[in-house]
Each structure stands twice: as structure tokens, then as C-alpha cells.
Structure 1
């Protein structure tokens, strides 16, 4: 045993001794130190990157834990010629290369191609990744590349999170790509076209122009193309056929030039794959919307939960039901003149969705819980057209004009058949219902804005005017055929046979005036004024057909118009320093709401005054560590649907009615955000802490009729409170060729539950986290493991027996194995979903396993034959479970089962750019490698 321990010690000692450290100092020819230069250790055999680092403030560098072998030391720095040295370790555990002197780049050429070999760079608030360092498979798309980046996460539904926040926008070379839908870029652009991936918070045009932070930010990723892609064409074609009549086709064609970008997209499949995002889903579902205007000029959009028809969004992040999708579009950007840029796109998509769904909902009530069960079959179709256009004109050095328009036209058809029932606590039947609803309609939305910006001769003095005009026209027709049976004291049956038609016309116009004045010492004062008017005209006609002839139903019909307007004026003060900025301010908002219910000759007339303070603080510890604090207030007005006292009986067992007496909600929001990213070690940490406190919060109260029919009505409650925290830590282990990412999350929401006019508090607590592990062995094998854990508990003051505790967990594994000189690729992915409810002893596990093998063919591997087996275990069920202020609900839906598919993928890059885009420019040229 002792001999074994001695041997183990000896071997480990030798292993440690084999590790070396390379260090030195970097200066220029004058002896000036060069900080933040990129130092790379390359393999002497194939020049592959082994490790890298950056020089410190005094020019020193040190790269540790290198195996004892021959290397090439390469140093790059902007405006200096690259420097290389051969490393030959002889004795000892350190190699000191001494003072290295870099030569300035002396030659000045008309055409210079600049390349960047640094894996990661941090430029103040932007993290930039060198795409070629993060290897992807042949014919991969941008989404696959993003999965490789530290601090970036991509869910199975394509949702992207960077630095802990959801990415709302993707641009290509700084220009719009099909509007603001990230998935159109990430799921359609080839990964090998990308040179750099830049992650940053995009500020509003007004904030960039004036220098005064208005708080409007979008987490944005910019994809910087390779130089050869900017001067040629590239793209992919894909087609596949499978068993069970499954098919898939996709095309991406791109032609980029110096002053012009053209992209064409097309897709068709019946395997539940969408290349676009949530906006189309929401226009499909017809969910209600409301807008909130904040003290800092923030505009928020929140989606209501009273979803009457359309696609059910599975919270397990897998599309429920069976979807057939056809989509296509064109994106065109061009510099019309030296000072005028055009960015425009058109996108069309058609969805056909078939859904089988079982719903089990426990409605909590002080008098006794009710169980609602429902089986439904839905067929929904949606056709959507989107047109976006931006013209940005720099009139002269002091004036600019920007015009933006977005036009959306939507057609929907929904046909649902369902059977539902309500049960008492003892299991006795209270009522049941069978119904069929048909709904179809169109909507047209046009949003337009014109922004004029002017700089005065005095630096920092600016004036901007923004005018907006938005129009929405909605036309819908529907019918309901239902039979409802009651088994309580008033036993009987009620047949509902109705048709309805509804038109909603909305006109919104607004104007914003902003003036900034420099106060000296990098201090600024901003004065702003905003006016907004929202005019609504609602007509809903309901006709009973029970008598055989249409009979107007005035209790369910509605003629309503409203005029919502506000005036808001405010002042903001901003202080800029080298490592921090401070913004404080406040505005006063006067709100007026006037409405008329013509059928009942009733009127609504309310006015409100609110003071809306705002405060922001940014502190830069270093170029890679930042702290940000934001505090703002906002006013959320009731929606048109919430204000109308008209019953919606599309579900006879679950009615809803509006409330004309609603007051606006007043919300306080604060966020503390810390970001750290070390580009040398790839260690990153992102932390958030959020608090939201709402006065006069709007929530849905519940009441029950004698027949146990539920009626929902929006009401104001005193306050609600929401707390949440999120911390993400990522780090690599170079010895193991591995990278880890760990996220911890916690949140608590306290609200008010109102059932049969009895108020009680409710607390919802969520604890969870995400884990990610990536391993790569050369160019042969890679694997990625992940977990997403969520523990959710809900406690009710009125009845502890109704408390809920449940888990929604997702475990993932993905691997790739390259065979026979990378001519074959074996890939597999596993997604293991678990749903557990400790209260009801419900437990469901759903594994989804996909396996594929690819054979690369044609020159430069431009062709790929791919045979795949999707959903190997033939799991055709989807589950989602949620708890709300007064119910717990679980839904089980149908899902796509097992199928086999043979596909051919063809890359156009090499064929359309036979020289790879690297032909020297006329008159000569050179390539500069920079850090």
C-alpha cells in the first residue's frame, strides 16, 4: 500500500512538474508599455489556439498551466505589427521571454482587411466574441453558435438569454434584420458567415442623441459578418421527407455588398418548427393587451391572461399540438445616398394548428374548492403579413430625420369543440357543458413615427421632436352552440345558440418634445413634454338564434367609445464622470379618461394626477465590471376590455365581465444589476435584484352563481409586491476542456385573492436554477449537459389546505461525434421533462430523444445528407402546470410523435464565392491581425 502511495505521489509530482508558465513584458520601440494586448499560445504543430491572456496595465503577462512542449507565442495589438516568438521549454517550470518590443504598423494602404484573433474583447458595455474560436458543426445556424458562447443561453424554443436577460433584438452589421424578431436571424443565418458576436444593451435613439439616459434598453446581439460575406452571396438550401407524411424545407439566400444587404427566407414544414418568434403567436391567440407609460418615458406592453382562443403556449417550452407552417420574406437594407439609409423587410407566415387538450383546474374558494375538468379539440389557422421600414436621413451636421413604419395584417380562424364539468369537493357533479365555438376575423395595425433631431452649435444642447400615429382596425365574427346542464338547486338545461360580430377601431396619436441643456462640467439638464391620445370605438352585436330568427341580445352586446389622453412634463438631471453616471428626475402626469356606453346611456369620466420620479446610477469599476441601479415609476391604465361592463359568455361555465370603475395602477420598479466578464479567463458573473410594488393593482376577482358558474371581473386591490433575484456564474476548466455555467433564481410575489367578495392574501414563491456543462475534445467530440430546476409554492391565507407545491424540471443532453476524418457526424439530443405536484401526488416524466447521422458530400463539404429519428421514444404528450391567485391548473396536450426523416442540406457559400471572398482588392492590399 505504501509503495502504491509513493508511486502515486511520484507520478502526480511528475505531472505537476510538466506544467510550465510563460511570462514577459510588452512594450513598443520607445519603451512605452502596452496594456490590454492579446497574448496567445499556439500549438507549434498546427497553430491551433491552446491558451490566451491579456497584458496588465504595466504590460506584464503570465500564462500558466501549459504542458511542456513546443509553442508559438503570438502577440497582437491595434496599429502594431503582430509579434511571434518560438517557445522551447528546456528546464524549470517558467519561460520568461523578457521585454518584447512591438513595431508600429508603418505601411498605409488604400485597402486594409482587419482581422481579430482575440477570442473575447470587452468594450465598455459591449462583450464581443470572436466567432471562429467557438467551433460549430458544418451547416450550423447562428443559434448553434450562440449556444457555445459564455454567458449566453438558448432555450429549446429559441429564446435567447445573454447576461441573464432575454435578448429582444438581433441586428446584422448594425442593421435591422426582419424587424425585431431575433429567431429570424438565429434560425436562418449560417453560423460560418459570422465573424463577431457583440452583446450589449441598446439604448433608445433619444438617449444616444441627447446623452441623457431615459431607461429604455433592449438586450441586443449584433452579428458582424466576415469580410468575404459582405462582398458576395451566401446561404443554405434544405429539404427533407419523412415517415407519417412529414416534410421540411428551408431556404436562406443572402447577397451583401458594401452599401446594400439583401436576404430572402423561405420555410415550410409540418414538424412543429418555426423560424420566427412570439409576436406571431400573440397575434394568433388574440390575447388582450395593455400599455403602461413610465416616468422615464418607458412604454411597457403586458399580455393579458384571458385568452379565449388560439394557440396554447406550453410552459414546458415545447410547442403543443401539431403545427403546419409556411413562411417567407425579404429583408433589404441600402444606403440610398451618403446621408440616407433605408432598412425594410416583409415577412409572411401561415400557421395551421391542431390541438387536443385536457384541462384540470382547481378553483379555490372559502366555501369549498371546485374542480373544473375539460376536454377540447381545436383547429386554428393564422395568416400574418408584416412590413417594416425605416428611413434615416442626416440632413446636415446638425439635423437628422428618422421615419419608422410597421404594418401588420392578420387573418385568424378558430374552431373549438369542448366538454367541461365542475365538481364539488366531495366529487359530486355541479354542472357540465358541451359547446362548439367558431371565430374568424382580420386585424390591421399600422404604427408610424417621425423623429427630428437637432444639435445646436453649443456642444450638448439638443432638441428633438417625435410624432407618432398608430391605427388599429379589428373585425371579428363568431358563433357559439352550447348546451349547459345544472345539477344544483335549480336543476335544468340551458341551450346557447348565438352569433356575434365585433369591430374595434383605435386611433392613437402622440408627440414628445425633448430639450437638453449642458450645465458645464459634463452635467446636463433635460426638459421633456409628452402628449398622448387614444381614441377607441367598439361595436359588438350578439344575436340569439334559439327562436330560429336572429334576435338582438342587448345584455351581451356593446356600443362603446372612449378617449384616453394624458399630458406629462418632466425634468431630468444627468451627471457624467469617467467611471460613473447619475440621472435623477421626475415628471407629472395628468390623465383623463372619458367613455360612453351607448346601449345603457352610461358614461365614464375619470381624471388622475401622478408624480413619476426616476433615478439611475451606473458605475464602472473597470472596463469589465459594471454596476447599474434603476428606479422608475409607471402608470398602467385599464384596457378597453377591462372597462366594458359586458359579459363574455364564450365559455358558459367560466364567464367574464368588465368593470368601468377601474382605476389605473401605480407601479414602483427598482433593479440592481452587476456584470463581470473576464476576457482572459472566460470567467463571468451576472447578478440581478428586482423589486416591484404596485398601488391600486388590477387583479381578477372570482364569484360563483347558484349554479356554480364562475364569473371573473377585474378589480383594484390595495397593493401587490414582487421580489426576484438572479445570479449566474460561468467559468472554464482548461485542463478538462470544459466550461460550467450555474444560475440561481428566487422570487416571491404577494397579492390579493378575491373570491365572493372575500379578500385574502396569497404568496407565490419560486426557487430554482439552471446548470450547464460543455466539454469538447479537439474536433472529434463534444457534449453539453443542462438542467433547469423550478420549485414553486403557493400559500393561501383563507385555507392552508389549498396550498400548492410543485416542480417543473427540464434536463438536457446533447452530443456530437465526428467520424472518419470528419466526413460523418453522429448527433443526439435528449430532453427529459418532469412535472411533479406534491399536493396532489401527480408525477409525470416525458423524455424526448433525437438521433441523427450525417454524411458530408461534394466539394468543401458543401453538401450534407442527414438521416434522423425524431422523438425516438414516441412521446406524444405535453404537460404544463401553473398556479395563480385563485386556482391551480394542469393541462395535458397532444404532441408530435416519432418520425424518421431523410434530408439534404446544401451550402451555397463556396459556390457563390469560389475564392472564399479573399481575392485581394484591386491595387493590392494587406491583412492586419489586431487584438
Structure 2
């Protein structure tokens, strides 16, 4: 901490504050005016500031230096003065006069570092970059108001960037990670931040959009040029890395190629990237059925796994955009990945039964092979501002296999089960959207989507002991081999037509009519392969499904949007008529239901940098097909599940409230949010537990359950140091029904993080933080408490002109308070990069997991099991890399 504060103390002792107010001739404050301080000595930094809504500004200048101070504002005559700083602070006010001919008389020989309009912020990169930055992410971290996390996600004024453009065109899928981690820093001229972004310009102000886009403007010599870099590396125990990035840009053609081949456990494509491809987390969470369907899929679970014992990745991505003419673009991408992975996890599962709680010691080892290919082609036709048409087709094909071993030690038995899986999946999605401005007051949109998927997992469990005794009809044998074939197939179609009627600037009426259909089939077959070659088919004992589920949802909607002062209100009513049929073999049922679902949103906009958003919705969700399939099916080596075709829809309330405030003048960023869910009628698992063996089905449960999630983030930058505090609180109460006993469980989690980060140019930059986590799980028979203390630090230091040092360290103390156990582990990584100025060659030595830590530890909780898990990770890796920049 002393190291952190010494440069800060030195800086404060050698700086002088100049502040004041900028107004027009009528003494009205000018918000977003630019103040630029250019030092006479070339090797000193340019300083700048932007006025707040009161016209106030602050500049921190070095003592005993001469600066040329320039104040400018669009439509007003600029003012320039020369100022030599001394030991005392200065108050300097400016009055700017209007310049009606400014657009014809601009002769300024500089571009302001930051230009701010209502929904747009433009950064001039050269004003902040030193020239030593390698990737776009390193530039973005130096821009005021921008934050880039270590995965490459970007936030501006507390809001996440959801779309990345290059020269006003989407970069790959628009995901920020691929852009900021791969675009070379020296190719970027300007960075534009576009708030309330809408891809269809005529719909801005009509559709509610909290999206924020980032548009990268390239330097003139990069607008028709091939650029990029190639990185290769080799390390101890045959470690390797090959990472090419090639980009070609011209006014009509863009080609981007990214590759990544390594056995270091580095994933170039993660679950977050996948969710972004599917529309983004913010959009998916409003459609919970789509979100949870994606999140729980086998493909998503593979992507979410970040800890490995061994891992080899081969990743390639190609994106092409071609302008056919001024109004038509065609673009597409293809992403392919192959990963060979070994994972290992040891878990103590405490079963929370009401009579005799017990613990299972389970070790799971998996050897996985995962292949996927994702492709998309989009045609955009935009002949004028009044008309927009887009068509796209998306294809995803996956092939996954696993050869895993489960070793379980529990009061009933000690067993070793070999699990072999082989799964293929195909998903094809087509979407058409059309928007047209019919008149000054009316705008119409039509959107239609067709989605087809076909999943075929094949699973085999092999053991020398019987499993699931009494739940599956096994015949005696020396080796027990149980096979399962499953197929899930669906055709989904949705369409919605909407009219936007603008009564006045502050009164809008929106009407919509739509249709959602789903035609799906679920097939399952479970059997035992006997040593004598015979097959023991479980279908005669209630197993096996050939289940069809058709759901048709027609709806109409009415929305009224009106504004009073700084507050916008939008009450909404949607009337849905549902019709669904189920059929398992010859058993067929028909059902229908009508529901009125209200929604309400409110937005209070104090300024561009301060807002409150409130949203309420009454939601419904129909069961998935596997929850309805009415015959037994094996879910795992210790679980049998049976659906119920009489289940109907769930209903639940959702309330969210968010607040954010950002002040460049005060260098403050505040984000706070609350999300509350109350389940009215919902599906509840009912479990019969015998040791670790489980028989589970679902019922429609009408006892309310609640979930609260509160998060907050406060940061303030003082001089060159940013101080941050993050806090989160989660509360969840839920019922469990186990062995005919119903109990109310409560889960709580509190996490607080305090950190400080420096932004020096000549001194090392360091971030130091501390996180404290509390977890509390309460059931009728047991209270379990866990704590985790985590200290972390990150270091980055550029020295001797050509060297760059990066290091990170994390120390964790994990406590299971209930079991009176404690574990300590720390992990560290370091890299040293060298590149001589103006040389295309760079060299790097890096080491990961320096202390060769074997595992991470965490806890989880479900309906009746508390899990204390150790996840094993990659060993120490030392690499030498060579980079070449085109």
C-alpha cells in the first residue's frame, strides 16, 4: 500500500489545480464545453476537462510549467490564453460568445480530445495513447469514463457496451471481446460511444433501448490496408501457442481472420460470447425460457467450464463484409473450435434430509472432446431512412464426446462408474425484419423467426455394482452396462407486427399482434446390455418416451408511452391465448388458456449521465418438453426423472430498479440495482431420496417463493488513483419436498470488494483489492456457513522505453464454518514483454500458476444438497513468445 501511495503523494506535491466556470454571454452554463491545456514542452502530457451541467471544470496541471489553455464549444468562439503555473491554485472563469458563422470559419489546429453531444462521446485516441499500446483494450483503459475488464468487456459511464462497430459496420458479431483483444492499437484514430443505440435509425426514440455501441474509427492509412499480428510461443512440457490476427479494411470490403491454437487452457470463445451471439444477456434475461434453455444446454455448460487439468484448443474465426451498393450490405462469419479437455473435481455433498443428514465424497474426472461450428450470413437492405430490411440465417453444429469416471463414497456403498457420452446437435435459425415509416406519425415493423434444433445425445453407464436399486429394472450380471438414446427435436416459429403511433413528442401509442408456435418431440430409450448379448429393455417398466408437444400462443398488445418532465412512463397490457396438445405414444390431451399479462416501465432521466429505471412484469412460462414427458428417463447415474403431461404454466412477478450516475467532472461512477422475483405458481421438484439415489418429478406448486438480488458499485478517481467499492446481496427462500417432507430453506450470500487502482504514465500501475464473501444456507435440520477472504493485486509497468511487465497475484482463505475446516491457496501469473520502438518484432516470457497450485475451492447449494467442491486446475506453465506486427 505504501508503494501505491508514494507516487500519488509525489504527484499531489507537484501539481496545481485550476478550476472555474464556463458560461455564455447571458451567464447560462455551457455543459460539455472542452478545456484543453497544451504544455510548451513536448514530452509532457496534454491535459483536458469537460464541464458538467453547471458549466464547472477542473484541471490538474504540473507546477512551474507553461500551458496554452484553449476553451471551445460548438457554435461559440473559442478562447485561448497562456498560463504559467506556480504553487497556488487558480480560479479562472470563461464567457464564450456565439459564432453563427463558425461552421464556415473553423480554423482550429487541433481536435478536442473529447467531444460530447447528447447521445455521443467521441475520443481522439492520440491525446491519450503513448504509442506503446499493443491492443485496443490498452487504449480504451486510458480513456476517461471507460472501463475494460480482463475478459475484454467494456463499460462506459457504468453501462456495458453491447455492440462494437468498425467504421460504422459490425465487427464480427459485434461482441466487444473479439474487438478489444485483437484490433491493433496503432490502427485506431477515434473511438465513438453511441448511447441508446438502435441498428435501425428510424426506430430510435420509439423502441426502448439501453444498448450502448462503440464505433472504432480507423486512421486514414488503415482504411484500405492489411494489418494485424502473429504471436507464437513455446514452453516447458511441450506447451505451445499460435495466435494470428489479420484484418483487411476498405470502404466496400472487410475481411477479418482470428486464430488461436494452444494447450494453455486459454478459451477464445466463452459462454458469455455465446449468449451475446444469441441476443445478449440483457435481452435474453427478459425471455427467461430462452435464457435458461440456452444456459442449461450441454453446449453452454462446456463453454462455462474454465478450469482444467489439461486442455488443448484449436479456434478459428473468419468474418467478411461486402457492400454491394450504397444501400445493400452482405456479411457473414464462421467460427470453428475444437477442444480436448480433462477436468477433475472432488466434492463433499451434504444431503439435507430432515431425519438423517449424511455426506457423500464424490470425485468426477472427465475427458472431453468438444467440436462446434457456428456460421451466420446477413443481408441488410437500407434504401432510405424510411425503409429497412434485414435477413439472416444462423447455423450451429456441435459434436461432443466424453469418457468420464465417477467415484462415490457414501453410507450405502462405494462405487466407481464409467460414463461414456456422445452427442450431436444441429440448430438452424432464420430471421426476417422489416421496418417502414408509413407517415410522419406512423412507423410499422414486422419480424419473423424460424428456429429448428435437433439434439441427439447417447450415454452409457458402466459399473460392476448395481446402481439405482429399486428404481431401474436391472438383471444380475458381472458388469452392468446401461445405455440411453435421446432425441430432442423442435420447429419453432414466431412473428410480430407492430405499429408505432406518435401522437406528439411526449405521447406514443404502440399496438402489436403476434404469434409464437412450438412443435417439438422428445424420444428416450433406456436399456441394459447384458454380457450374454441380450438386451434388457426398460420400456416394459414405465421407461421410454415418444412424446410430442405442440404449443400455439397468439397475442395482442397495447402500450402507451408518455413523458412528464424528466420522467417517461409506459404501461403495457398483453393478452395471450394459449393452445397446447401433448401426446405420448397413444395418450393425447388438448388444453387452452387465456392470460392477461401487464407490464410497466418508468425511466427518470436527470441527465445523460444520471438515470433511474424501473420495470414490473407479470410473467408466465410453460414447461419444457422433457418436464412433460410422462414416462421415466435416466438423468444421471443416481437420478431417475418422470415428467407430468398435466403440468400447466408457471406465473411469477418480476420487479427491477436500477440507478446509475456518472460525473466526469467529479470522477464519480455509481451503479446500483435491485431485482425481485416472486413465484406465484411454479414447478417444484418432488424427490424421493434413498441414500444418494433420487427419484424426482415435478408438481405445480402454489406456495410463494422469493428471491432478492441487490448490487452496488461506487468508484471515484482522485488525481491518478481510482478507488472502488462493490457489494452484492442475494437472498432466496424456497421449499424442498423430499421423502414427503416439505421444508422452507433460506440461502443468503453477501460479497464486498474494496480496491484501488493507479493510472500513472511514468510509475508502475497497480491495483490492490480485498474481497469478503459470506454464504449462509439454512434448512429445517441444519445451518451451513462458508466464508472466503480474497486479496488480489495486479501490476503493470512500462520501463526503459521498450519493456512492459504485467503480474497478478491472488490469495484466498476459504472456511467451512460448519465443518470447522479451512484451506488456503494463492495463484500468481507474470509476463515480461519487449518490443523496440518502430520494430515489428516483440518478445515475451510469461508464467502462469507460478506457485503450482493444484485446485480452487467453492460451495454451492440446491434443493437438498450443500456441496463443498475442489476444482483442479492446470499446473505451472512457463512460455516464451515471439510476436510480429504487420
TM-score in terms of structure 1 length = 0.84
Deviations, residues 94-134 of structure 1 (Å, cap 9, x unaligned): 3647656687786869999994412xx66545666655565
CA distance in 1 between counterparts of 2:300 and 2:27 reads 69
TM-aligned CA distance change 1:663 to 1:129, over 3 Å:
farther
**Secondary structure, aligned partner of 2:398:** strand
* In the alignment, structure 1 residue 234 sits paired with structure 2 residue 227: yes
* Match of residue 177 from structure 1: 171
Match of 1:786 among 756, 769, 789: 769
* Match of residue 725 from structure 2: 742
Deviations, residues 809-843 of structure 1 (Å, cap 9, x unaligned): 543211122332x1222322112334322112232
**Secondary structure, aligned partner of 1:649:** strand
TM-aligned CA distance change 1:778 to 1:183, over 3 Å:
closer
| Residues 193-212 of structure 1 aligned to structure 2 (within 5 Å) | 193-197=187-191, 209=203, 211-212=205-206
The answer (yes or no) to whether the contact 1:381–1:414 under 8 Å persists in 2 is yes
CA distance in 1 between counterparts of 2:868 and 2:188 reads 42
CA distance in 2 between counterparts of 1:513 and 1:521 reads 23
**Secondary structure, aligned partner of 1:860:** coil
CA distance in 1 between counterparts of 2:292 and 2:470 reads 41
**Secondary structure, aligned partner of 2:413:** strand
Deviations, residues 155-203 of structure 1 (Å, cap 9, x unaligned): 5555666666666544434433332544322332234444555566666
Match of 1:640 among 613, 625, 644: 625
578-587 or 197-206, larger mean C-alpha shift: 197-206
Deviations, residues 370-404 of structure 1 (Å, cap 9, x unaligned): 32222222111111111122222124553321112
* In the alignment, structure 1 residue 21 sits paired with structure 2 residue 18: yes
**Secondary structure, aligned partner of 1:430:** coil
Deviations, residues 339-374 of structure 1 (Å, cap 9, x unaligned): 122232111111111112212211111122132222
**Secondary structure, aligned partner of 1:562:** strand
463-472 or 75-84, larger mean C-alpha shift: 75-84
CA distance in 2 between counterparts of 1:49 and 1:680 reads 19
Deviations, residues 55-112 of structure 1 (Å, cap 9, x unaligned): 4678665546863542221334346686542202479643647656687786869999
**Secondary structure, aligned partner of 1:302:** helix
| Residues 215-226 of structure 1 aligned to structure 2 (within 5 Å) | 218=211, 221-226=214-219
609-618 or 570-579, larger mean C-alpha shift: 570-579
* Match of residue 372 from structure 1: 360
The answer (yes or no) to whether the contact 2:307–2:871 under 8 Å persists in 1 is no
The answer (yes or no) to whether the contact 2:841–2:883 under 8 Å persists in 1 is yes
* In the alignment, structure 1 residue 274 sits paired with structure 2 residue 255: no
**Secondary structure, aligned partner of 2:223:** helix
In the TM superposition, residue 302 of structure 1 has moved relative to its aligned partner by 1.3
Match of 2:291 among 301, 305, 321: 301
In the TM superposition, residue 499 of structure 1 has moved relative to its aligned partner by 2.8
CA distance in 1 between counterparts of 2:216 and 2:254 reads 14
TM-aligned CA distance change 1:448 to 1:365, over 3 Å:
same
In the TM superposition, residue 448 of structure 1 has moved relative to its aligned partner by 0.8
TM-aligned CA distance change 1:48 to 1:612, over 3 Å:
farther
In the TM superposition, residue 328 of structure 1 has moved relative to its aligned partner by 0.7
390-399 or 447-456, larger mean C-alpha shift: 390-399
Match of 1:596 among 583, 586, 595: 583
The answer (yes or no) to whether the contact 2:34–2:112 under 8 Å persists in 1 is no
Match of 2:665 among 674, 680, 687: 680
- Give the gaps of 5 or more residues in structure 1: 1-11, 284-288, 423-428, 909-931
* In the alignment, structure 1 residue 816 sits paired with structure 2 residue 810: no
In the TM superposition, residue 804 of structure 1 has moved relative to its aligned partner by 1.8
* In the alignment, structure 1 residue 254 sits paired with structure 2 residue 254: no
* Match of residue 431 from structure 1: 413
**Secondary structure, aligned partner of 2:292:** strand
TM-aligned CA distance change 1:182 to 1:22, over 3 Å:
closer
- Give the gaps of 5 or more residues in structure 2: 1-8
The answer (yes or no) to whether the contact 1:204–1:217 under 8 Å persists in 2 is no
511-520 or 574-583, larger mean C-alpha shift: 574-583
* Match of residue 71 from structure 2: 75
* In the alignment, structure 1 residue 558 sits paired with structure 2 residue 545: yes
CA distance in 2 between counterparts of 1:254 and 1:770 reads 39
* Match of residue 854 from structure 1: 833
Deviations, residues 308-333 of structure 1 (Å, cap 9, x unaligned): 89966789xx5233221001111122
Deviations, residues 544-569 of structure 1 (Å, cap 9, x unaligned): 21141234331432211110121111
The answer (yes or no) to whether the contact 1:183–1:276 under 8 Å persists in 2 is no
The answer (yes or no) to whether the contact 2:52–2:664 under 8 Å persists in 1 is no
**Secondary structure, aligned partner of 1:777:** coil
Higher relative contact order (CA 8 A, sep 6+): 1
CA distance in 1 between counterparts of 2:309 and 2:66 reads 57
**Secondary structure, aligned partner of 1:761:** strand
CA distance in 2 between counterparts of 1:197 and 1:361 reads 50
* In the alignment, structure 1 residue 845 sits paired with structure 2 residue 833: no
**Secondary structure, aligned partner of 2:504:** coil
| Residues 150-165 of structure 1 aligned to structure 2 (within 5 Å) | none
The answer (yes or no) to whether the contact 2:122–2:192 under 8 Å persists in 1 is yes
The answer (yes or no) to whether the contact 2:526–2:633 under 8 Å persists in 1 is no
Match of 1:320 among 308, 321, 338: 308
The answer (yes or no) to whether the contact 2:294–2:300 under 8 Å persists in 1 is no
CA distance in 2 between counterparts of 1:528 and 1:808 reads 50
In the TM superposition, residue 252 of structure 1 has moved relative to its aligned partner by 0.9
* Match of residue 443 from structure 2: 462
TM-score in terms of structure 2 length = 0.88
* In the alignment, structure 1 residue 187 sits paired with structure 2 residue 181: yes
Match of 1:502 among 469, 476, 486: 486
TM-aligned CA distance change 1:504 to 1:204, over 3 Å:
farther
CA distance in 2 between counterparts of 1:792 and 1:151 reads 33
CA distance in 1 between counterparts of 2:367 and 2:274 reads 15
The answer (yes or no) to whether the contact 1:432–1:486 under 8 Å persists in 2 is no
| Residues 685-700 of structure 1 aligned to structure 2 (within 5 Å) | 685-700=670-685
CA distance in 2 between counterparts of 1:777 and 1:595 reads 65
Deviations, residues 565-603 of structure 1 (Å, cap 9, x unaligned): 2111110011146633221111111222211111xx333
CA distance in 2 between counterparts of 1:306 and 1:421 reads 27
The answer (yes or no) to whether the contact 2:264–2:877 under 8 Å persists in 1 is no
The answer (yes or no) to whether the contact 2:774–2:787 under 8 Å persists in 1 is yes
In the TM superposition, residue 650 of structure 1 has moved relative to its aligned partner by 5.4
* Match of residue 928 from structure 1: none
Across the aligned residues of Structure 1 and Structure 2, the Cα RMSD in angstroms comes to: 3.8
* Match of residue 517 from structure 2: 533
* Match of residue 346 from structure 1: 334
| Residues 658-677 of structure 1 aligned to structure 2 (within 5 Å) | 658-677=643-662
Count of residue correspondences: 864
Match of 1:244 among 237, 251, 256: 237
Match of 1:864 among 842, 855, 873: 842
CA distance in 1 between counterparts of 2:733 and 2:613 reads 26
* Match of residue 415 from structure 1: 403
